[in-house]
Amino acid sequence: MKIIYLHQYFNTPNMSGGTRSYEMARRMVAAGHEVHMVTSYRGDDKFGRDWLQSEDAGINVHWLHVPYSNHMSYSGRIKAFFRFAFAARRRAIDLKGDVIFATSTPLTIAIPAVLASRSNNIPMVFEVRDLWPEIPIAIGALRNPLIGYAARKLERWAYENSVSVVALSPGMKAGVVRTNFPPERVAVIPNSSDNDEFKYNADAAARFRWERSWLMDKPLLVYAGTFGQVNGVGYMVQLAKALQLIESDIQILLVGDGREYSDVLRRAKQDGVYKDNLFFESKILKKEVPALLSAATMASNIVIDLPEARANSANKFFDCLAAGKPIFINHGGWMHDLVCTHQCGISAWKKPIEEVAMMLDSRLHDLTWLMSASEAAKQLAQKKFDRDLLADQLIRVIQAAHDGQAEKTAEIAPGEY
């Protein structure tokens, strides 16, 4: 198949951010398919106004310069979404192909996908990475009722023009099905664990620790990701303060960037935990994350406690599993259920922060618990979320759409964990 893969925020391992599309696309190429990735270049440096093309791991990547960052206002982001959407429409149409595979967010990626699908009379498969627009509406980012109405119409238009849909969690599938999309045509293919890339590296872990005089051999809890409104990273400031009050030696490291970064930093300084037991570092390249996780005692997935956010399928959760590290989460939903059922970490959902601090201090000094939780995390990564396993499911879903057998979609990837 010639697959036209639309993803506005595609990343390679030499960039910061999630690499799901890169990992899936390179496996499509390895399986014998021709893949054209239509995406944007988000840097501020001079890039030109025309499309540029590169080849990465056999993927034909088509780049258009459309600056974007989490620091931008919501109106600025929406402008970036639409600018890319209308430019990508022409590119996707000209590339033709056998099938369109479009992945959100943003939801506006549906515009070039649907129009290219119709123009070239080829099937479209739509991937849902977030319940959008439910989340921006829930956090107050989309306050204008007309914009909210238009976003919901765009969501349904995307589904109506798709032969099948890929959801990244069972909760996201439920959200899709609530729009009356046929459940048998919805696959559940979460973010995945790159088990070979995230194998424990003792040398990298030791180097990481000894380069930081504040860390050395102390227990380390890591958050690596976006400092956005939905992430609620300020929770870690509260946790650091609670740990400080019980004189725990646990150190917390926050790695990343985003619109809420300066606010979290300010709160850390106000509470007296900044550079005491809470440390900040800038975002890192994806290929540098394995060393970070090798050094960590535990890693975390932090989300504000809204029902709409509980269906998230964060890369950091699956990277943690692949690294064989216990995971700390503070929210409900399917990830909470996984952590509790498989005993691969700690869920702080609905627990007082003082109780959470005591629990963390106890667990992170308990070598028997750490070994058991680490092994449970690794087993979950290998048996349920291995990248090769889930990439094969995705390829089969796209093939079924191409072959006119979309009714087999849920059977291929039922998402039962």
Instruction: Provide the CATH number for the domain formed by 2-192+386-412 in this structure.
Output: 3.40.50.2000
Residues in the chain, total? 417
Whether pLDDT at 90 is above 60:
yes
* E-only strand ranges, 168-295: 186-188, 220-226, 251-257, 278-281
Note the pLDDT tens digit of each residue in 224-268.
999 988 899 999 999 999 999 999 999 999 999 998 999 999 999
> In the structure encoding, which two tokens stand for residue 74, read together?
């919501």
Position 278: which residue type? L
Residue 268 CA, chain-centre distance (Å), reads 26
Highest mean pLDDT: which range of 41-55, 57-71, 105-119, 142-156: 105-119
- What is the residue whose two structure tokens read 């599938």? 173
Note the pLDDT tens digit of each residue in 300-357.
999 998 888 899 999 999 999 999 999 999 999 999 999 999 999 999 999 999 999 9
Whether pLDDT at 46 is above 70:
no
Confidence of residue 164 (pLDDT cuts 50, 70, 90): very high
- What is the residue whose two structure tokens read 């930093």? 265
| Mean pLDDT (whole number) for 18-23 | 95
Task: Determine contact, residues 112/88, Cβ cutoff 8 Å.
Answer: yes
Local structure of 55: helix, strand or coil: strand
| Residues of each domain in the chain carrying CATH 3.40.50.2000 | 2-192+386-412, 202-383
Task: Determine contact, residues 381/414, Cβ cutoff 8 Å.
Answer: no
pTM of the entire predicted model: 0.93
The class level of CATH for 202-383 reads alpha beta
Tell me what the pLDDT averaged over the chain comes to: 93
In terms of Cβ atoms closer than 10 Å to its own Cβ (0-12, 13-18, 19+), residue 289 is buried
Q: How far apart are CA 205 and CA 203, in angstroms?
A: 5
